[in-house]
Structure 1
Amino acid sequence: MPDQDPTSKSAGRAKSPNIASLTSAMVEDTASILQQSGELQPGSGIITSVIALSLGFLSLLGVLAFHYPQYLTTPELRHVYSVSLMRQILFGALLVAGILSLANILFGRHRSLNFSALLMVLVAVAWGGSKVAVGDFPDHTPYIGLDWFIIDLLGSTLIFVLIEKLFPLYRKQAIFRFEWQTDLVHFAVNHFIIGLALLVVNVMIHRVFGWMVHADFQNTVAAISFIPQLLLCMLVADLMEYGAHRAYHEVPFLWRFHSVHHSVKTMDWLAGSRQHILELICTRVLVLGPLFVLGFDKSVVNAYIIVVGFQAVFNHSNVHLPWGPLRYIFVTPDFHHWHHSSEDEAIDKNYAAHFAFIDYFLGTAVKVGRAFPEKYGVVGDYMPDGFIRQQAFPFRKQKID
Structure 2
Amino acid sequence: MKSPALLGRITAVFRQSGAMDKGKGKVTGVIALTLGGLAVLAVLAFHFPQYLTTPDLRKKYDVAILREIMLVGMVIAGGMALANLIRLRNRWLNGTALALILLAAALGGHRVPVDDFPDNTPYVGLDWFILDLLGSSMIFILIEKLFPLHRDQPVFRPGWQTDFTHFIVNHLLVGLALLIVNFAIHRLFGWMVWPPLQKWVGGLPFFAELFLVILVADLVQYWTHRAYHEIPFLWRFHAVHHSAEYMDWMAGSRLHLFELLTTRVSILGVLYVLGFNQTTTDIYIVIVGFQAVFNHANVRVPIIFAKAPLKWLIVTPDFHHWHHSSEREAIDRNYAAHFAFIDYIFGTAVKSERRFPGKYGVLGDYMPPGFVRQQLFPFTWKG
Match of 1:46 in 2: 26
Amino acid at match of 2:56: E
| Other-structure match for 2:77 | 97
Deviations 1:312-344 (A, max 9, x none): 000000011121431210111000000000000
- Pairwise CA RMSD of aligned residues? 0.9
2:317 aligned partner, one-letter code: P
| Aligned residue among 384, 389, 399 for 2:368 | 384
Corresponding residue SS for 1:310: helix
TM-score relative to the length of structure 2: 0.98
Note if contact 1:235-1:355 (Cα within 8 Å) is conserved in structure 2: yes
Where does residue 326 of structure 1 map in the other structure?
Answer: 310
Is residue 27 from structure 1 mapped to residue 7 from structure 2 by the alignment?
yes
Following superposition, the deviation at residue 103 of structure 1 comes to: 1.1
2:211 and 2:82 mapped to 1: Cα distance? 50
Equivalent of 1:375, from 359, 369, 376? 359
Which amino acid is the alignment partner of residue 393 of structure 1? F
| Aligned-pair CA distance for 1:216 | 1.5
Question: For 2:314 and 2:301, how far apart are their aligned partners in 1?
Answer: 13
- Structure 2: how far apart are the matches of 1:26 and 1:320? 40
Aligned mate of 2:46, from 49, 58, 66: 66
1:244 matches 2:224:
yes
Q: Identify the residue that residue 198 of structure 1 maps to in structure 2.
A: 178
Name the aligned partner's letter for residue 6 of structure 2: M
Please state how far the C-alpha of 1:26 moved relative to its aligned partner. 2.9
Structure 2 CA distance, aligned partners of 1:163 and 1:112? 30
Q: Which moved more, 1:91-100 or 1:148-157?
A: 91-100
8 Å CA contact retained: 1:26, 1:115: no
Between the aligned partners of 2:89 and 2:204, the Cα distance in structure 1 is 60
Partner SS, residue 185 of structure 1: helix
Deviation at 1:279, TM superposition (A): 0.4
Matched, 1:220 2:200: yes
1:331 is paired with a residue of what secondary structure? coil
| Residues 11-52 of structure 1, C-alpha deviations (whole Å, 9 max, x = no match) | xxxxxxxx43xx455322211111000012221211111011
Answer with 237-246 or 317-326: which moved more.
317-326
Paired residue for 1:37? 17
Partner of 2:95: 115
- Structure 2 partner of 1:274: 254
The reply on whether 1:77 has 2:57 as its aligned counterpart is yes
What is the alpha-carbon distance in structure 1 between the residues aligned to residue 127 and residue 37 of structure 2?
13
Determine the structure 1 residue equivalent to 2:347.
363
Q: CA deviation at 1:79?
A: 0.4
**Residue number among 221, 234, 248 corresponding to 1:254 in the alignment:** 234
- Tell which deviates more after alignment, 93-102 or 361-370: 93-102
Which one of the candidate residues 352, 373, 379 is aligned to 2:336?
Answer: 352
Whether contact under 8 Å (1:49, 1:114) holds in the other structure is yes
Per mean C-alpha deviation after superposition, the further-off stretch among 74-83 and 40-49 is 40-49
Say which SS state the counterpart of residue 21 (structure 2) adopts.
coil
CA deviation map 1:27-86 (0-9, x unaligned): 222111110000122212111110111100011000010000000001111101000011
C-alpha separation in 2, matches of 1:320 and 1:41: 25
Residues in 1 aligned to 2:163 and 2:4: alpha-carbon distance in whole angstroms: 27
Q: Deviations over 1:85-104 (max 9, x none)?
A: 11011111111111111111
Give me the whole-angstrom Cα distance separating, in 1, the residues matched to 2:129 and 2:12.
23
Distance of 1:159 and 1:33 partners within structure 2:
23
Give 1:140's aligned residue: 120
Task: Give the Cα separation in 2 of the matches to 1:26 and 1:58.
Answer: 20
Which aligned pairs between 1:308-327 and structure 2 lie closer than 5 A? Answer: 308-322=288-302, 323=305, 324=307, 325-327=309-311
| AA matched with 1:85 | I
Q: Is the 8 A contact 1:242 1:353 kept in 2?
A: yes
Aligned to 2:282: 302
Q: Which of 154, 160, 164 is 2:144 aligned to?
A: 164
Letter in 2 for 1:152: D
| Matched-pair contact (CA < 8 Å) for 1:26–1:113 | no
Partners of 1:337 and 1:41 lie apart in 2 by 29
| Residue number in structure 1 paired with 2:382 | 398
Give the alignment's TM-score, normalised by structure 1.
0.93
SS of aligned partner of 2:88: coil
- Does the CA contact (< 8 Å) of 1:340 and 1:377 recur in 2? yes
Q: In the aligned structure 1, how far is the partner of 2:13 from the partner of 2:187?
A: 47
CA deviations 1:106-156 (Å, max 9, x no partner) are: 110000011111111111100000000110000111110000000000000
Gaps (5+ residues) in structure 1? 1-18
Q: Distance in 2 between matches of 1:249 and 1:369?
A: 24
- Secondary structure, in 3 states, of the residue corresponding to 1:42? coil
Equivalent residue for 1:176, pick from 145, 149, 156: 156
